[in-house]
Amino acid sequence: MQTSPATSALSAPDSPTTPSPLLTSAESLFHACLENLTAQRCHVQCKPRLSEVLQQENVAGFLKICQRHIDFVIYRKEDWLPMVAIEFEDDSPSKAGRKTRDRHLVNDIFLTVGIPLLQVHSKEILQIDTLVHKLSAAWQQRNANLETMPPPAQEPLPTPPTAPLTTSLTATRPTKAACAYIS
């Protein structure tokens, strides 16, 4: 198998690059548990980068969060507002290398913005009552925080175009050269 320039930049010539699952088996089981418990009343996102969850205006703040992620975030259904963040602890090797300094930074960030951060261990998946209690308490805490904090900035609603869309079929049709390259 011949490597492309993109894959050769990712790995040494002796070790091929292969896709890996987004979630470990324990994380996957926990995600399924969250989906069942929420019963489609909210959105559950897996491993978002902190920069996708939090808006950071200054460069120094962005650099602190741009390469970090949180295991799960639960959002309100109607407006995708983050309500609860979850760090899932299991015994996978990828979790063992997480630095205490990083964990403190993430805890401080979520505390500052008023989003409860839950630590859930894989052993708690089978303790449904405890899990429901933790999630409910965190959701209520976030609602209380929202009442005391200023509302998040609202994006302006998109406006539909007033003029009809006109496109030429010849402009969007691929050329013979492009079709030959694709096939």
Domains of the chain: 24-147 (3.40.960.10)
Q: Is the pLDDT of residue 183 over 90?
A: no
Rounded distance between C-alpha atoms, residue 166 and residue 163, angstroms: 9
- pLDDT band at residue 11 under the 50/70/90 scheme: low
From the list 88, 82, 103, 68, the residue with the least C-alpha distance to 134 is 88
- pLDDT band at residue 181 under the 50/70/90 scheme: very low
What's the pTM? Answer: 0.70
Choice between 75 and 8, residue whose per-residue pLDDT is larger: 75
* Residues 74, 42 contacting (CB under 8 angstroms): yes
The model's pLDDT over 119-155, given as tens digits with 9 standing for 90+, comes to 999 999 889 999 999 999 999 999 999 998 766 566 6
- pLDDT band at residue 82 under the 50/70/90 scheme: very high
Q: Is the pLDDT of residue 170 over 50?
A: no
Mean confidence (pLDDT) of the chain:
79
- Six token digits for residue 13: 């010539």
Choice between 88 and 56, residue whose per-residue pLDDT is larger: 88
Mean pLDDT over 60-68 rounds to 76
- Supply the pLDDT for residue 169: 46
Residue 87 amino acid letter: E
- Supply the pLDDT for residue 108: 87
Q: Is the pLDDT of residue 180 over 60?
A: no
